[in-house]
Amino acid sequence: MKKLLFGFSALCMLIGVGANAADTQLLEQLSGHTLDAKQLKFSQVESCESLEKMLEKYAKETQEPLYRTFGLKKELAVESAAPMAQGIAAEAAMTNSISSSHTDFSQTNIQKIGVDEPELLKTDGTYFFYYNEKTQKVSIVASPLDSKTSTLDGTRIQLVNEIAVPKELNDIELFVTKGRLVLMGQLSDYGDAAYASFLSYQNRTVVAIYDISDIKNLKLLKFENLPGSYQDARLIDDQLYVISELRFNRWNWKGKSHDFRKGLASVEIDEQGAKVLPIECSQISYVLPEDKNLSLDPVFTLIAGIDIRNTSKKVSTTALLAPNGEIHMSKNALYLVSNFYTYNNWPCPSGLFCVMPVFRSTTQTMIHKFSRDRLNLKYQNTAIVPGSLLTQYSMDEDSDGNFRILTKVWEKHLSTQLYVFKPDLTLAGKLENIEPGEEFKASRYIGDKLYLVTFEQIDPLFVVDLANISQPKIIGELKIPGYSTYLHPLKKEGSKQYLLGLGYNTTQNERGGTVNSGVKISLFQVDYAKKQGDMIEVKELDSLNQGGKNSDSQVLSNPRLFVMDKKGNVTLPLHLVERAHQGEKCNITYDLQGKEQKKDCTPIVEPSEYFVGLKTFSVSPEKGIKEQFAKDYLKDILAKKGITTTGNSKQIQKEIWNNEEIFSLQDMRVGYAGDALYSFSNLFADFIFPNKKNYSIWFK
């Protein structure tokens, strides 16, 4: 035993000496290599036979096991997808339609002008289209706003039609534009045929396109049953791009037939009937390097380009054997961005005693660029940057076609990196190690400026100048309590740019750590004409806190739900918990004689009031942020049971978790139609007029 201990100690000592030695050749060898992007560019598959050999080799040699995936039942497979279209046919409903349209209504908050993003609730100003997860229907509700007179009439609000959605279809999202409704979702089944295929067949992507010009008689124009799990979509004019993902099932590879044409086929149903559309192996582009040091799983990413106006036009399919994690799309290009790992070892830092000379793997981000020509996508180039992406707002293409991307890096220390690429996706410039030790929380690109939020215990807001793409630099900084998770651009007046930040206020807990303590709304002013030393002036003009610990808003994690009207009023769905001090909790130590030596006390903070509903805030540089209106649905619901929303009541908490009506408010969507506010939940749609009168529709 002593020999074993001595041997282990000696090994540790040798490792420690090696890490500190002047000759670092061994550590350099062990620390891996910098990945060359040339290894990861797309190549074209020559034939189904070559694709099969490539995947078979990968199945045998790859280091990391894939998670088990399951197939789709035979009755829902490609050959029998046609009957599912009838399950999504529109059901007739009730009342007269309003044919006119207007622009005085809220729409989905999007990142790029002209590139629409999908959501559960869409409106064309005349009707609201809302997918209700409880009823499993798309409910179509007439708007109260008369576009000709700009007046509100509560009698206009009525359920005019519904679309029944099969129970097997989930993750529904919608687009609405110029007489077209697009429904997308994921068809899921986990049945007995789970192990039958070398591809994970349990999920299919469904796209249904409706003509809504006659709202009482909806017409299904096209139905697409696409391979793979639904990931995301974008709509530019009449061109729809739907992205799905199909995983390779290694455990079912051996001894199975590998019919790629059938496995990647889609089913199309239109006025001419049903057609099975296979994908030829020669259509597939792949990124699958033989480097065993990489964790690149063989995943099929499929991009279906669909003309929603001319539905007889053939679907343009881009088939890629490459993973995708997030997308960025402009009118000119599509970027597929994903994280992967390299098993490069990290050397023990100098002066640190380690039991191993090297450790840690490396996270990297891979970017593939495709140029866009209407429905056709053409591969351009690939780039790799260190670190991992946060959200789609971490990247942007500017008006000159330069691509900017932010990542957070965890190796050695936490930091934020910025990389700028030319239109050909070659590196133009970079800004690394931004605020080491702090975590990247939010970003927004506006023209040639980047606004960036990082956080550890306070919230630094950085302004980065991107005018010189080869030398991006920080030109402004502000440090304040709390942090933003979403930044929304407001107006620009002369040299002043205004921003709205939505996020969390923070406090220290009893252990000295930082915790969220309510929703925070901040109004920032960036004045490029004023300087403080070498930096421009960045100020928080005003802020407003809502609630305490455990308070939240869906907008903080889903910017598509952000709503701001023409007057600068912001309406947010909010779940607030106000907290109040209720005494102290003290730890007291005594000496042997019973005399008090030390007393450490922390305040006891307990819930004192609850709020679940919507609030509207006016926002302006002159008057700051002011609460204008609040609708507390929780208060109204609890009042029916004789319960108030104040006090630390276990009964209130029980109702919040168990009451179906309250629970349905967790995914509430809010917006405006003219001067009326509205909210949609799984149980009802509520319209609130300026005179505070409510008009509601209950969904069944």
Q: How confident is the model at residue 415, as a pLDDT?
A: 86
Residue type, 51: L
Integer angstrom CA distances of residue 290 from 47, 54, 60, 177, 443: 19, 9, 12, 45, 36
Q: Which is nearest to 212 in space by CA: 190, 179, 244?
A: 179
DSSP letter at 604 equals: E
pLDDT given for residue 646 in this prediction:
78
Q: Is 157 exposed, middle or buried (0-12, 13-18, 19+ CB in 10 A)?
A: buried
- In 422-472 the beta strands, taken as DSSP E runs, fall at 427-434, 439-446, 449-455, 458-465
Query: What pLDDT sits at residue 648?
Result: 57
Measured CA to CA, the distance from residue 375 to residue 416 in angstroms comes to 35
In the block, residue with structure tokens 């926002």: 619
C-alpha distances out from residue 162 to 139, 251, 517, Å: 5, 43, 41
Return averaged pLDDT per consecutive 10 residues of the chain, 700 residues in all.
31 28 29 43 82 76 37 26 34 27 77 96 95 94 88 93 91 96 87 60 87 94 92 97 86 70 82 82 75 66 95 90 89 91 52 37 82 93 86 95 92 84 92 86 94 79 95 94 92 94 84 80 95 91 93 94 93 89 77 81 76 95 95 89 75 77 86 94 93 87
Please state whether the predicted TM-score (pTM) of the whole model is above 0.75.
yes
Q: Which pLDDT value is given to residue 253? A: 67
How does DSSP assign 612-671, residue by residue? EEEEEEEEETTTEEEEEEEEEHHHHHHHTTT--SBS--HHHHHHHHH-HHHHGGGG-EEE
- The token duo for 92 is 């007739």
Task: Measure the CA–CA gap between 133 and 120, rounded to whole angstroms.
Answer: 9
> What is the CA angle 445-451-456, rounded to 5?
135
447 token code pair: 């023209």
Nearest to 118 by CA among 166, 164, 186, 216: 186
3-state secondary structure of 78: helix
Q: Nearest to residue 459, comparing CAs of 499, 503, 427, 419?
A: 503
DSSP 332-363: SEEEEEEEEEE---EEPPTT---SSSEE--EE
Is beta strand 669-673 parallel, antiparallel or unpaired with respect to 624-632?
A: unpaired
Token pair in block for residue 668: 């509430």
Which residue type, as a one-letter code, is found at position 65?
A: P
pLDDT at 193: 55
Let me know: does 234 contact 116? Beta carbons within 8 Å. Answer: yes
Instruction: For residue 244, give both structure tokens.
Output: 């799905």
Report the distance separating Cα 158 and Cα 449, nearest Å. 45
The DSSP H or E segment spanning 8 is: helix 2-20
| Beta carbons of 305 and 313 less than 8 angstroms apart | no
Helices (H) and strands (E) in the chain, counts: 8, 45
Three-state SS for 13?
helix
- Tell me how far apart the alpha carbons of residues 249 and 383 are, in angstroms, rounded to a whole number: 28
Which residues make beta-bridge pairs with 247? 299
Dump the DSSP string for 116-178.
B--BSEEE-SSEEEEEETTTTEEEEEE-SEETTTTEE-GGG--EEEEEE--TTEEEEEEEEET
Task: Identify any residues that bridge with 206 across adjacent strands, giving them in sequence order.
Answer: 185, 225
Q: Where along the chain do its domains lie?
A: 549-667
Q: Measure the CA–CA gap between 568 and 521, rounded to whole angstroms.
A: 14
Report the distance separating Cα 173 and Cα 556, nearest Å.
19
Alpha carbons within 13 angstroms on the beta-carbon side of residue 145 total 26
Starting at the earlier edge strand, list the strands of the sheet with 569-590: 563-564, 569-590, 596-620, 624-632
β-pairing verdict for 284-286 and 316-321: parallel
Measured CA angle at 577 (ends 504, 680), to 5 deg: 85
Which candidate, 133, 154, 137, 136, places its Cα nearest to that of 145?
A: 154
Q: How far apart are CA 270 and CA 260, in angstroms?
A: 25
Residue 639, C-beta contacts closer than 8 angstroms, at least 6 positions apart: none
